Amino acid sequence: MMDRRDLKFGDIIYRPDCYDIVREIRTNGIIGEDSFLGVIPFKNLKPIPLTDKWLERLGFEPIFSGNYHKQIDSFDLRLISLVKGYSIEITDCCLGNMICDKNIKYIHQLQHKLYDAGVKFKLKL
């Protein structure tokens, strides 16, 4: 089960029977891509674990020992495999700024870190 505080507009989540993108967050659930389904209660939502398959689907390239890399505009993204999840390093090559964070286990958490760093990368299903 997910909590409304865990979600942002555009997050990729799992709802019964398929993946979906959050288009609206309400007090009792979310509205996904197909608004005709109505409100999907939070109790029916699950986060999507970061897996090798998902990372490659999202355009990340394996570099070594379960670690991944992706270049987006002036940003260099590295995901370093940990025992439980990933550590992310986001470097702005123009400004030389680096952001690091640990314990990223789910796609929506990756989306939030990219958004917070100013990386314009739209993840697609």
Confidence of residue 29 (pLDDT cuts 50, 70, 90): very high
> Each residue of 62-106: pLDDT tens digit?
998 889 999 998 999 999 999 889 999 999 888 878 888 888 999
Q: Collapsing DSSP states into helix, strand and coil, what is residue 95?
A: coil
d(CA 34, CA 49): 23
Rounded Cα distance between 24 and 16, Å, is 17
Phi/psi for 93 (5° steps) reads -65, -25
| pLDDT at residue 125, rounded to an integer | 67
* pTM, 2 dp: 0.89
- Residue 107's H or E segment, with its range, is helix 107-117
Chain-centre distance for alpha carbon 120: 13
